[in-house]
Structure 1
């Protein structure tokens, strides 16, 4: 196995870090915390941790987009089909649609497209994000379907002051954001954020994005209320997925995709007493997409016909739950939720004649769930159960069990087991050509053991061993020319994270992961899943100047395209530099150099990274 130098270096440093006071638990150093927000609804859960990135760290990194931001979070595998192409994310070997994506507690996955339930991260501008929580492991017992391998939760900003920022750079990069916020007597708050950005790296790669977000809050002595409204649109031009990109694509025509996303959510929390709190939420989301695909000529794999497709997904859901603190060591939560969704697909495939591929599907699901956490001296036990009754499918019961043992003030051991399920996507069920209404839900079993050490001098080290089993995965059967349940995949591996303060002005952090994947009864491989991956980050704070140097590295991996079939791709290391100079309390300048070493590499077959890119910007607090 060919490995890049960086993962091997991580391994050596990892052995040193376990016995030194140098490293802590996340790549973002002292700006990343281990939180218990995303993996559970319990208020004081002490077991499962989620990596969290704060607003301060987001501003320090100053990412191009949200995908660029996610690359800085440890043990997430992020890849794209070029500057404006589709994105792919994997947590512990799972597919992109095995990751539940939420914005302020609202699920935003789209099951109508061919990816089977992923999320277009370009619809969310980094300027509106206050914090990101990432949980690794199945949480269907907490959040239901889609949360098979992990959760990415974006919490939007609520109180941000007033600011104006503009930025420009190579490849016709332009970005701008206006944020206005106000707060009245600490009871009423309002925030408005307007963002726009664009980039064109070639005649075949261009993206434009706009987003408007409004957030209103009202707090009383015993209650909190929040209204969130968001609307965004993204227009992009890029070679189609599996086309072979700018190197191999034929015909030499790019796919055009125009999409819109809207979200409305109302959240209320009431404190009935010092020990009893109840929460309710109702939300509505809509995702629309228009795709004009020129098709892909046959290669090693059969070609793909040209198509013009419009999709429309609408979802209304709500939940209510009670959180009861029975004692300082025992809490119980119980609630119910419901969801009604409608997906439509309209368009044609070009087989020499226009073949309609229209479908419409409705889906309902009603659920009941409970969680409890009990602390017994140095042991803490957490249990989660969820009952789902999806329409036209069998009922599902998901469970989750966590156990933690606090060995001493610095060291904690933990173990967890969870079960998950995911309903087949609207595309897999209802597409006129390849859809199969008899598909069963995809199932998972997830287990994990780990250790976390928090040193007295501020360092922290965390290591996790995990094993996942995915069954009844939906796959396309070329002979039957339809989707079927048949695949079984086992994934296992280790994740290590650590960071710490080297001196008064410099902190270092690094992470690495090893992933082993066993696809049963086939010689094929899962795409874009390297065995080795990792990252390193150095943060320097010099008076009014902050500098961040980061590297994201991965070993060789398998990928596939129509022109090539399945091939083994070279690993790569991507280095980036971010700097911000605070001229005053209100004025700052920023400079970003992406792909600092100007390396040529491909994240997907034929899609070559655009090389070194430079951006410079200015931000003024009004």
Structure 2
């Protein structure tokens, strides 16, 4: 009976050469094979500054470069250069992010950002929050249910964003679906390990739509399939405002060896888990500008998700002498949310926003646990409403910028909480860049699963708490080597943890400290060659020294070189290092997963009316493990074709 409860407490208790020479050599070897080379269409995954795009780090208008948080924006061109990688694979190529299971394994793709628990990262699709409190992983999101085929851009915000997005204790991933105006597009991709993908869409002045399909894996050792359809209508208003209505439906199917089973290498029971999820969302957004009253932004969203999971269980082993029983689970989750923001007219030095948000969510879980000689039902139903007030202000005083924010949440059951944030930024001059410091506090309500599960739930659970501090320096964007270095420190308290009992129960007791430094830099030469370097070094620990946490490598880094080679042609080399990290499984107990170094190459060129991307993942066929018994994906060849239609 420990399988699902174990996941809820995973944060705390489930155990938990010269790069330049290498890149230069790879380019010399591979360039003659690129059929004429390529011109730099875009640099895949490069952190970019889009001055015209407001990012999701604040309720106030802010660009990626001006935000106090470390923000990375992946554009559509970046995603095209990846040649139909999944969302999980695209994010895993970013320093500071670990995704423990790839789509090819069929497993649940949990994202660890700055060492935080996956449930402390909010994932949005077109402003609609995807986190599900019925999940036994504490409302984390399975990234393997998302595809890049219908994505316009992805924003990655590192650090606390809970003033404007509830539960974003450690960060935010915001995915925007395709919306390029005045054109249509289509694309297909094939590759090793069963990769098959296709997408198509159209976009006009007011109406747009898209569909996508992606599958990966061999169905015997792990399989993933995702499908989605999106539609949106947008009407501009006088004064620069607009009204937008968007809808999305998505379906995913995953087959994989059960969590903690030891995977294909160690699992005793060889039947794969099956997970199916179907979701639908609808949102309406309006922005109204008036000279007298400023700007009003209104939003109403609804999300529904139905899930069906079947697991054959896990045989007894070193870590658990009883193993895990077979289980079937069905979930039904609904969330309705309304929000209003007011940005009153102010002078050029002051910006203010005031907002109110109301959320109503309901969830049902029906589970049947099969012990062989009898079956035990474990069902519950829960609902919750939360009303929040928020305020943010930014004041510019010469070269100094002061920003503060408050979010006050009042649930219909449980204690109210206030999330404060304060940041100070100082511009040192056009040639010297700027620096900033920030501090924030946040809380997260317990998931429905933790509160109400009839076997291990605990209705007396308190909210999880976090305090974040950051100090950064960023060089000028126009410098030869634009760079950013961030020191971060996070303190998590009252994290929900599994106590084996007897009786087994979820409790508040875990404390986690996460401290580290992350960096990014890059350079563009006169010949168009572009280099990007980024990485993270961090220490994530239990201050009491009782446990070591899963999937928290001490160091990660990546180096990417983009080489133009003629009109609309380019060649890219990406080298990445992920350090040693702990994992645990029932048949083996705790084990350290070896560090892994991978090199991916890709080339793009026009082929008729299409742009072709030919890529080789894990060129050197480096071997390690995603989780115990589940090897990292081996070398794979991929080919993608993308058309822009008139």
Correspondent of 1:201 among 182, 200, 218: 218
Name the SS for the 1:80 alignment partner.
Answer: coil
Query: Offset of 1:288 from its aligned partner?
Result: 1.4
Rounded Cα–Cα distance in structure 2 between residues aligned with 1:71 and 1:365: 33
Rounded Cα–Cα distance in structure 1 between residues aligned with 2:246 and 2:219: 36
Distance 1:294-1:239 versus aligned 2 partners, 3 A rule:
same
Correspondent of 2:192 among 170, 178, 184: 170
Could you tell me which runs of 5 or more consecutive residues in structure 2 were left unpaired when the two chains were aligned: 1-16, 23-42
Alpha carbons 2:44, 2:79 under 8 Å: kept: no
Query: Offset of 1:78 from its aligned partner?
Result: 2.1
Match of 1:292 in 2: 310
Which deviates more from structure 2 when the two are superposed, residues 502-511 or residues 41-50? Answer: 41-50
Query: Offset of 1:574 from its aligned partner?
Result: 2.2
Query: Offset of 1:254 from its aligned partner?
Result: 0.8
Query: Offset of 1:201 from its aligned partner?
Result: 3.2
Counterparts of 1:482-497 in structure 2 under 5 Å?
482-497=505-520
Does residue 345 in structure 1 map to residue 369 in structure 2? no
Match of 2:238 in 1: 221
Name the SS for the 1:241 alignment partner.
Answer: coil
Query: Offset of 1:7 from its aligned partner?
Result: 8.9
Correspondent of 1:444 among 466, 478, 492: 466
Query: Offset of 1:388 from its aligned partner?
Result: 0.4
Distance 1:6-1:290 versus aligned 2 partners, 3 A rule:
farther
Distance 1:209-1:518 versus aligned 2 partners, 3 A rule:
closer
Rounded Cα–Cα distance in structure 1 between residues aligned with 2:296 and 2:530: 41
Rounded Cα–Cα distance in structure 2 between residues aligned with 1:286 and 1:551: 39
Alpha carbons 2:149, 2:213 under 8 Å: kept: no
Rounded Cα–Cα distance in structure 2 between residues aligned with 1:30 and 1:115: 30
Counterparts of 1:375-386 in structure 2 under 5 Å?
375-386=396-407
Match of 2:350 in 1: 330
Rounded Cα–Cα distance in structure 2 between residues aligned with 1:312 and 1:8: 51
Counterparts of 1:569-584 in structure 2 under 5 Å?
569-583=593-607
Alpha carbons 1:47, 1:414 under 8 Å: kept: no
Rounded Cα–Cα distance in structure 2 between residues aligned with 1:177 and 1:552: 28
Query: Offset of 1:211 from its aligned partner?
Result: 0.8
Match of 1:523 in 2: 546
Match of 1:279 in 2: 297
Alpha carbons 2:110, 2:118 under 8 Å: kept: yes
TM (normalized to structure 2)? Answer: 0.89
Match of 2:498 in 1: 476
Distance 1:542-1:571 versus aligned 2 partners, 3 A rule:
same
Which deviates more from structure 2 when the two are superposed, residues 442-451 or residues 28-37? Answer: 28-37
TM (normalized to structure 1)? Answer: 0.92
Query: Offset of 1:237 from its aligned partner?
Result: 1.1
- The two structures, once aligned, show a CA RMSD in angstroms of 2.0
Correspondent of 1:156 among 177, 201, 209: 177
Corresponding residue pairs, total: 596
Name the SS for the 1:525 alignment partner.
Answer: coil
Which deviates more from structure 2 when the two are superposed, residues 326-335 or residues 50-59? Answer: 50-59
Query: Offset of 1:155 from its aligned partner?
Result: 1.8
Alpha carbons 1:29, 1:507 under 8 Å: kept: no
Query: Offset of 1:504 from its aligned partner?
Result: 2.1
Alpha carbons 1:207, 1:237 under 8 Å: kept: yes
Match of 1:80 in 2: 101
Correspondent of 1:69 among 86, 90, 96: 90
Rounded Cα–Cα distance in structure 1 between residues aligned with 2:268 and 2:331: 25
Counterparts of 1:331-480 in structure 2 under 5 Å?
331-352=351-372, 353-409=374-430, 410-454=432-476, 456-479=478-501, 480=503
Does residue 109 in structure 1 map to residue 131 in structure 2? yes
Distance 1:380-1:505 versus aligned 2 partners, 3 A rule:
same
Could you tell me which runs of 5 or more consecutive residues in structure 1 were left unpaired when the two chains were aligned: 11-25, 184-188
Query: Offset of 1:216 from its aligned partner?
Result: 1.2
Does residue 597 in structure 1 map to residue 620 in structure 2? yes
Measured against aligned partners, the alpha-carbon deviations of 1:535-588 in whole angstroms (never above 9, x if no partner) come to 11111222221222112211111111111222211110122122221235x422
Distance 1:547-1:314 versus aligned 2 partners, 3 A rule:
same
Does residue 568 in structure 1 map to residue 578 in structure 2? no
Match of 1:18 in 2: none
Query: Offset of 1:408 from its aligned partner?
Result: 1.3
Query: Offset of 1:371 from its aligned partner?
Result: 0.3
